[in-house]
Structures are given as structure tokens and as C-alpha cells.
Chain A
């Protein structure tokens, strides 16, 4: 059974005002096939957690550990983490001019698997995932994310999730900016990946909405850089009704 263990993670970021502590001791354990929702108000550090796990150079890990099946992830380069089985679906995927979706996907798949995928099976997988995500075949020849709408970018992220078959995926506000139809399509893609590969999911969201389509096993409330409360799906419903106010009353904003 795969697992992802985050222990006492402290992360800072350099700003114009100096070093700012964002994560202040995060503990999380995610098992194979489990879906954990991380919910929290804006500025609580949810996205920082996502990018720190993926290894974005902007974030400095002060202390703590992130272990994937017992292996320390924090000493790995960004690409090594991906090859070890981590995936980050980004909130704002970047454009890569002049690089086609098909070339990009094939290059990534080759890097992850250590060998080029057999051409026949690969095209079949690609076609089938794209059609389930309602992506036209013409996407294959378009440059990565260039001129994509918000919804198209998110579908492209989930397409990669399905094809690269990671052990654990962090979905950073994948629901933001999606209309209900796109939200359903994207959620179905995530659920398929989970059913097919036993994917463990860290689902970062501000809203309860996506949790109607991707059932969480656990819900963690994230405030001021740490998990302040944990529960089952019922906690998400409570947050939807009550908001985050009861967690914020004893937090000094900006501290």
C-alpha cells in the first residue's frame, strides 16, 4: 500500500517585506486510494502546501518531511518527485509556446516510465482519455495551454493525470473557474484515475461544490498554515453552512 506522509512541514517564502512563514507545521497522512480534501480560507497556505510538495523553487522548506512510501521527497528535484509518483494539477497551468500537446505528453510519459510508450497503445490511451474529457482531437496539435480557455486548461491537467498514472495527485483548486458541466467532466476524470490506479488524492479547494462529484474520505480544515480540524465528509457540509469564521476568531490576521 502506497502512502504519502507529511510531517511537521514548515515552509517560507521570500517577499519584498522579507521572509514570510506560510506553513507552520503541517501533518497529513494519505493512503493509497484515499481522497483528502483540504479546505480553508484564502491566504491560509493551501496552495503553498501543493507547490512545496511539488518542489517549486519559490518556496523554502524550513523543516519537516514529506515521505512517499518511506522515501524523502524534499531532497528530490522537481522532476524526480514526478517520476517517484507525485503529480500536481495546477490552478494556473502555464503556456509552452511551440510545444504541441502530443509532443509534451509523450515526452512526459517517456520520462515518467523511463521508456517511450509503445506507439499503438499510447495513441489509443490518448484518444480514449481525450474523448472522455470531451477534448477534440485537434488539441493534440495545439501548443500546450496556448489559447486554452480556463476549462480547457483544467481538462488538460486531468488528461495528464490520467495518462501519467501517478501514485498521489495534488489538485490545486481544480474547481476554480469551471462551470458545472466542466466540473462534472473533470471530476469524472479524477474518479476514473482513482478507480484505475488506486490514486491517492489531496484535493485543495475553497468550496464544497467539487466534493459533490469527488467524494472525500477525509476533510481537513487549513487555517494560518496548519491543519486545525479534521473529520469526514460531514465537516465539509458544516463549513459550507458556517464558513470559516469560528476558526479565524483566534487568529491574528497578517501575523
Chain B
């Protein structure tokens, strides 16, 4: 053997598969609860006060978000800038009694239920055009008053759409976003968090994907104190396809959390989950939980979920917990992967050996690492804004 250096990636493959036993674990252990059996209610009173011991909350700094889980929320329509004249997309503020509300799911925890109990008007976005158009909703003036929001995005059968929720400025926000994808519709929903450090944001997204329909759901979290975005995607009709992508960059003091739930209800459904995060600074924190449930009728399904974390300094903590429940023997594929590691020295050496200074090489690697997710959005404008935002995060992180 020649003495070429071997790759030393520092990767730690986690072998923790989460809090539930594998289904092949024999009769010695019965899972506490299947994801499908979790309690849901739209009323905050049906949930106990959050203690931090709950499965849902035990990785979250609950003292920082008490105003959202326990306090009273302003339910008036939040300041929202809506684009005008986008063909095939219409939006309006509707009452709680609107038939669209409650069609995609219901809260599984108290912050979500608190928002549901509190909102007065919901933003209804209807995508009906068969040509793909971008519809970008901007919320940048929510202020520091704890508030609730509710959004329902409906894609009519055969429609195509790209809906982007762009969030910046101050916010203390707990919200629910419902997403209903009609038969054969193709919808992409992107939520971008670039809040100030003083902001906190808890979001539950509930999606129902129809027959041969496709949903691409993308979460980009860069700014905010505690940001927790939990998408639940229910593949309820044959041939439904759901992808959940996410990218996050946690600096010191930030807690960025995402709990992804893919629910394969119908046969021949397909899902892909890919979340990638970078962490910098001793108190930077990220949580990724990926639950995939393949139900008893979900034969012929194909699913894969993965989470990759790149730790850029000493001290950050990244939790990465994939959970897979399979209730049928007839599936095409089901897999998961998780890794949390430091910079790949060989990548840095390669770039430096081409004259690229170390700090620039590091930026290039991180940017490339997250670019894979950003490139999924499908909006040049938003992608280039996010690339610039990631670049700014990196420059700030390096103190240059």
C-alpha cells in the first residue's frame, strides 16, 4: 500500500434509533405509543401545562417559550404582505368557521393548540393554476407581542404552485399551517425563518397529500432564538409523494428544532426526508426528529430519511433522532441515516491545495453542504437571497 492519507471525516454514525423499539425487537418490549395514536385536539385546555418532561418538549428550552405555550396570544390577523396579481393563486383572510380549516390535521401539543384556540382570522391561500407560479408571503413586522396565526394552503386538483412564507424581523409567534394537496396537484411550500435573535417561533405544519399528488416541503431556519418547525405530512391517497427538506444554521444562543413526521397511510406512497444543519458557537443547539410511520395499508411504499449535521466549532449540540415504524411487510424500501461530524479535513486540504485560503475553504464547504437543500426551492430570487444569508452567517461566525 502506498501511504496516501486516509479519509478522516470524524463522522459519528448514530446507532440510536430513537425512543421506540424496532418492530423486530421480539415480545420483550412494547412501544409506549405509536405515532399514529398520539392525542390531538384543537383546544388548548385539553393539554396539560408544559413541564419539559413530555416526549414532545424534552429537547426544547421551554422556559424561553412559555409565553407561547402558556400565555394568552393575540389572535388578530398578523401583519402580512401578500403579492398581487399572481396568476392562479388567490389569498384572503377567512373566519374560523371556514370549511377549509381543520382539513389537514389537528394539534398534538399545547403551543399548537394554543395558537389554534386563539386565532381570529386565517389566511387562506388557494392555488388553482395549472401553470407554476411563485407566491411569496412576507411577514416582517410582527413585533414582540405573543401572537397566534393560522394559514391554510389549498392546491386544487391538477394545479401547480410554489408558496413561500418569508419570515424576518421580530416575532413571538405560535402558528399552524395546513396544507391540502388535491389529486395530481404539485405543490411546493417553503418556510424561511430569518427572525431576529430576540424572536421565538413555534410552527406546526399539517399536510394531506392526495392521489398521485406531490408535496415538497422545505424549511430553512437561519435566524431566531428558539425556532421550532414541525411538519407532519400525511400521504393519504394512493400514489401520494411527499418530500421534506430542511436546512438550518444555528449560532451561539440559537435553538433550531424540527420534528418531521411522514405518515404513509395509502399504498404506493413515496417519501424523502433530508435535513442538513450547520452549528457554530458553544451554545448553538439543533434538534431533528424524523418519524416515519408506514401504516398497515401502506403496501409498496418507498421511504428514506436522513439528517446530516456539520459542527463548525467546539461546544454545539445536535440531536438527531430518526424513528421508523413499519406495520406492513410489503414495502419497497424504508431507510434512514444520520450523522453529526466536524469538517472533513480531506475536503479542506483539497481546497487549500488549490490555493484557496482556509477560511474561504471552510465557507465553500459549508455553503456547498447547505446549498443542496436551498437548490430544492425552485425560486432563483429566494435561492440567491438565502445563499447570501448563509454567506453572511458564515462570515459572522468566523468573525471576519
Chain A contact residues, CB within 8 Å of chain B: 13, 22, 42-43, 45-48, 51, 54-59, 77-79, 81-83, 87-88, 90-99, 104, 107-108, 111-112, 143, 160, 164, 172-173, 206
Q: With an 8 A cutoff between CB atoms, is B198 at the interface?
A: no
Query: Are A111 and B357 touching (Cβ within 8 A)?
Result: yes
Q: With an 8 A cutoff between CB atoms, is B344 at the interface?
A: yes
| Chain A proximity of B361: nearest CB distance (Å) | 8
Query: Are B368 and A88 touching (Cβ within 8 A)?
Result: no
Chain A hits for B57, CB < 8 A: none
Chain A hits for B399, CB < 8 A: none
Q: With an 8 A cutoff between CB atoms, is B92 at the interface?
A: no
Query: Are A79 and B368 touching (Cβ within 8 A)?
Result: no
B 101-135 to A, binary, CB cutoff 8 A, 1 in contact else 0: 00000000000000000000000000000000000
Pick the contact of B364 from A22, A88, A96 — CB < 8 Å? A96
| Chain B proximity of A162: nearest CB distance (Å) | 13
B 367-382 to A, binary, CB cutoff 8 A, 1 in contact else 0: 1111110000000000
Q: With an 8 A cutoff between CB atoms, is B66 at the interface?
A: no
B 1-40 to A, binary, CB cutoff 8 A, 1 in contact else 0: 1111101100000000000000000000000000000000
Chain B hits for A82, CB < 8 A: 352-355
A177 to B129, CA, bound (A): 53
Closest to B354 in A: A108
Given contacts A48-B3, A57-B345, contact A98 B354 (CB under 8 A): no
Tell me the residues in window 329-366 of chain B with beta carbons closer than 8 Å to chain A beta carbons: 344-347, 349-358, 360-361, 364-365
| Chain B proximity of A75: nearest CB distance (Å) | 15
| Chain A proximity of B375: nearest CB distance (Å) | 8
Query: Are A58 and B5 touching (Cβ within 8 A)?
Result: yes
Query: Are A94 and B364 touching (Cβ within 8 A)?
Result: no
Given A46-B2, A92-B4, output 10 extra A-B contacts at Cβ < 8 Å.
A42-B2, A77-B352, A94-B7, A96-B365, A98-B367, A111-B356, A112-B355, A164-B354, A164-B355, A173-B2
A-B contact pairs, 21 of them (CB 8 A): A42-B1, A57-B349, A58-B8, A88-B353, A90-B353, A91-B2, A93-B350, A94-B346, A96-B347, A96-B364, A96-B365, A97-B368, A98-B367, A98-B368, A98-B370, A98-B371, A99-B368, A111-B354, A111-B360, A172-B4, A206-B2
A92 to B330, CA, bound (A): 41
Tell me the residues in window 63-85 of chain B with beta carbons closer than 8 Å to chain A beta carbons: none
| Chain A proximity of B60: nearest CB distance (Å) | 29
Closest to A99 in B: B368
Q: For chain B, what secondary structure do more than half of its interface residues adopt (helix, strand, loop), or is it mixed?
A: helix
Closest to B367 in A: A98
Chain B hits for A107, CB < 8 A: 356, 360, 364
| Chain A proximity of B171: nearest CB distance (Å) | 30
Which 6 residue pairs of A and B lie closest in terms of their CB atoms, listed nearest first? Answer: A98-B368, A82-B355, A78-B352, A108-B354, A99-B368, A98-B371
Closest to A92 in B: B4
Please count how many residues in chain B sit with their CB below 8 Å of the partner chain's CB atoms. Answer: 31
B 177-198 to A, binary, CB cutoff 8 A, 1 in contact else 0: 0000000000000000000000
Chain B hits for A97, CB < 8 A: 368-369, 372
Chain A hits for B357, CB < 8 A: 79, 111
A191 to B266, CA, bound (A): 61
A45 to B1, CA, bound (A): 10
Chain B hits for A91, CB < 8 A: 2, 4
Q: For chain A, what secondary structure do more than half of its interface residues adopt (helix, strand, loop), or is it mixed?
A: mixed
Chain A hits for B350, CB < 8 A: 90, 93-94, 96
Query: Are A47 and B351 touching (Cβ within 8 A)?
Result: no
A78 to B349, CA, bound (A): 7
Closest to A40 in B: B2
| Chain B proximity of A155: nearest CB distance (Å) | 16
Query: Are A43 and B355 touching (Cβ within 8 A)?
Result: no
| Chain B proximity of A161: nearest CB distance (Å) | 10
A46 to B344, CA, bound (A): 24
| Chain A proximity of B309: nearest CB distance (Å) | 14
A90 to B352, CA, bound (A): 13
Query: Are B349 and A45 touching (Cβ within 8 A)?
Result: no
Chain B hits for A95, CB < 8 A: 347
Chain B hits for A94, CB < 8 A: 7, 344, 346-347, 350
A77 to B4, CA, bound (A): 19
A107 to B351, CA, bound (A): 9
Given contacts A51-B4, A98-B369, A98-B372, contact A108 B355 (CB under 8 A): yes
Query: Are B356 and A56 touching (Cβ within 8 A)?
Result: no
| Chain A proximity of B337: nearest CB distance (Å) | 14
A104 to B351, CA, bound (A): 8
Chain A hits for B345, CB < 8 A: 57
Chain A hits for B349, CB < 8 A: 54, 56-57, 78
Chain B hits for A58, CB < 8 A: 5, 8
| Chain A proximity of B360: nearest CB distance (Å) | 7
Chain B hits for A55, CB < 8 A: 352-353
Closest to A97 in B: B368
A56 to B372, CA, bound (A): 28
A173 to B369, CA, bound (A): 29
A92 to B349, CA, bound (A): 12
| Chain A proximity of B131: nearest CB distance (Å) | 26
Query: Are A108 and B5 touching (Cβ within 8 A)?
Result: no
Closest to B357 in A: A79
Pick the contact of A79 from B3, B8, B352, B370 — CB < 8 Å? B352
A77 to B357, CA, bound (A): 9
Closest to B350 in A: A94
A164 to B349, CA, bound (A): 17
Query: Are A79 and B2 touching (Cβ within 8 A)?
Result: no
